[in-house]
């Protein structure tokens, strides 16, 4: 059997129509209507977490509205990194927006602006003026993870569509579809745990789920499927280590817990936090920990790490906090 690894599966299985977009029903249903009356279509912002279908949806819209040659001629794709040079935005984009070829004077033009939240505010101001001045046959679709980083004058000129994390059953269904198409030899008895793990790793990001699946295949991990290997290649700690950690915490043995933490040589601290959260119910069953305060503390640690605090200090502080919060 030959498994196709040539092409990234995220591209190979990029949805080509609205029907193939998994979930995102509210956004997709409204967009279907807009596309029918393309000239009345507003400028749009697709906002939401990574790997939930924003770019795919924007491309579907562009392909629906601009067929064949027109797609290549009348779609302008721009990435935040292109806009680092401000003159680039001004000139290229202004030219594209204002040039009206005599023959196709009224054809629709679409500007796809990816990672719009990474565009510096000053450049966003320039962009805003370009959007304001654009003729009605030019439509902007901005994509971003954090709408809070887009300036208000742009937001108020756009219809905002919020994309949401994909739920487990949708992610698993899509992975199963790909596994069937690629004829993957997933051992039936481990299938459920495998998909469960891929979903956990993805945290609702379908791109990450598909990439992890393809990576497992490329590393030939499927035949003797070991879930711990899958966790490891994705930067999560193996289950036996996590179990030992839980035991040492329950025993209030801080030194053992910290030593375990220090043995992990591929530690990704934010993944580690997610795994800690995933084992909290093990403490809950025994009513061992003061939960609300502990969860608040985990949130705080997550924030500190995101701001660049020393990971080892933060994580061992969390282990200490868990032990301190144990009842009895």
For the bound state, the minimum distance from the C-beta of residue 229 to ligand ATP, rounded and expressed in Å, comes to 23
How many residues form the binding site for ligand ATP (CB under 6 A)? 21
Residue 185 CB: number of other CB atoms within 10 A? 12
- Tell me the window of 54-62, 215-223, 286-294, 307-315 that interacts with Mg ion (CB under 5 A): 54-62
d(CA 178, CA 148): 35
Contact 24, 170 (CB under 8 A): no
Q: In what helix (H) or strand (E) does residue 209 lie, and over which residues does it extend? A: helix 206-218
> Going residue by residue from 184 to 223, which x/- string records binding to ligand ATP, judged by CB under 6 A?
----------------------xx--x-------------
116, 44 Cβ separation under 8 angstroms: no
Contact, 146 vs 117, CB < 8 A? yes
Q: Report if residue 61 touches ligand ATP, rule: CB under 6 A.
A: no
| Residue 12 C-beta: closest distance to ligand ATP, Å | 8
Q: What is the DSSP letter of 220?
A: T
Kindly state whether residue 246 participates in binding ligand ATP, applying the rule CB under 6 A.
Answer: no
Asked if 248 touches ligand ATP (CB under 6 A), the answer is no
Q: Strand 138-144 and strand 158-162: pairing?
A: unpaired
Which of the listed partners (ligand ATP, Mg ion, none) does 210 bind, with a CB threshold of 5 to 8 Å by partner kind? ligand ATP
Q: Please, which residue, 111 or 322, has the CB nearer to Mg ion? A: 111
Q: Closest CB to Mg ion among 51 and 273?
A: 51
Q: Which of 24, 52, 55, 126 binds Mg ion (CB under 5 A)?
A: 55
206 contact, one of Mg ion, ligand ATP, none, CB 5-8 Å limit per kind: ligand ATP
Task: Write down the least CB distance from residue 266 to ligand ATP, Å.
Answer: 23
168 binds, among Mg ion, ligand ATP, none (CB under 5 to 8 A by kind): none
DSSP-derived 3-state class of residue 22? coil
Tell me which stretch binds ligand ATP (CB under 6 A): 17-25, 153-161, 226-234, 248-256.
17-25
CB 137 within 8 A of CB 106: yes
Q: Which tokens sit at 317? A: 């502080």
15 touches ligand ATP by CB under 6 A = yes
Residue 51 touching ligand ATP (CB under 6 A): yes
**Per-residue buried b or exposed e for 191-200, using 16+ beta carbons within 10 Å of the residue's own CB:** eeebbebbbb
Note whether 124 binds ligand ATP by CB under 6 A.
Answer: no
What is d(CA 168, CA 174) in angstroms, rounded to the nearest whole number?
Answer: 10
Residue 33 CB burial class (10 angstroms; 0-12, 13-18, ≥19)? exposed
Residue 52 in the binding site for Mg ion (CB under 5 A): no
Tokens representing 150? 């887009």
Left if phi > 0, otherwise alpha if psi is -120 to 50, otherwise beta: which for 76?
Answer: beta
Residue among 245, 251, 261 at smallest CA distance from 314? 261
**Contact map string, positions 153 to 182, toward ligand ATP, x by CB under 6 A:** ----------x-------------------
Residues 6 or more apart whose CB falls under 8 angstroms from that of 122 comprise 86
27 binds ligand ATP (CB under 6 A): no
Q: Are 193 and 199 in contact (CB under 8 A)?
A: no
User: For residues 159 and 288, which CB has a smaller minimum distance to Mg ion in the complex?
Assistant: 159
Tell me how far, at minimum, the Cβ of 202 lies from ligand ATP, in Å.
10
**Interacting residue ranges for Mg ion, rule: CB under 5 A:** 54-55
**Interacting residue ranges for ligand ATP, rule: CB under 6 A:** 10, 13-15, 21-24, 50-56, 143, 145, 163, 206-207, 210
């Amino acid at each position: 059997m030959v498994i196709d690894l040539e092409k990234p599966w995220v591209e190979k299985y990029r949805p080509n129509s609205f029907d193939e977009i998994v979930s995102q029903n509210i956004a997709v249903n409204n967009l279907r209507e807009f596309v029918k009356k393309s000239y009345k279509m507003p400028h749009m912002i697709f906002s939401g977490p990574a790997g939930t279908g924003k770019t795919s949806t924007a491309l579907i819209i562009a392909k629906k509205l601009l067929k064949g040659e027109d797609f290549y001629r009348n779609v302008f794709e721009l990435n935040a990194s292109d806009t680092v040079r401000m003159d680039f935005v001004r000139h290229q984009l202004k030219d594209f927006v204002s040039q009206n070829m005599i023959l196709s004077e009224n054809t629709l033009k679409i500007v796809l602006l990816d990672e719009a939240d990474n565009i510096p505010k000053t450049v966003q101001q320039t962009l805003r003026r370009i959007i304001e001045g654009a003729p009605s046959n030019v439509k902007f679709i901005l994509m971003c993870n954090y709408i809070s980083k887009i300036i208000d004058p742009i937001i108020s000129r756009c219809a905002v569509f919020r994309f949401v994390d994909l739920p487990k059953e949708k992610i698993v269904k899509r992975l199963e579809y790909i596994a069937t198409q690629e004829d993957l030899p997933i051992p039936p008895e481990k299938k459920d745990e495998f998909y469960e793990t891929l979903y956990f790793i993805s945290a609702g990001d379908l791109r990450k789920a598909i990439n992890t699946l393809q990576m497992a295949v490329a590393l030939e991990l499927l035949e003797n499927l070991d879930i711990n290997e899958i966790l490891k290649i994705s930067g999560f700690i193996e289950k036996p280590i996590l179990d030992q950690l839980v035991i040492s915490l329950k025993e209030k043995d801080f030194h053992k817990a910290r030593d375990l933490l220090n043995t992990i040589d591929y530690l990704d601290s934010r993944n580690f936090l997610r795994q800690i959260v995933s084992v909290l119910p093990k403490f809950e069953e025994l009513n061992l920990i003061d939960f609300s305060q502990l969860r608040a503390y985990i949130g705080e640690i997550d924030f500190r790490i995101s701001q660049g605090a020393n990971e080892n200090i933060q994580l061992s502080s969390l282990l200490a906090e868990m032990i301190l919060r144990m009842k009895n």
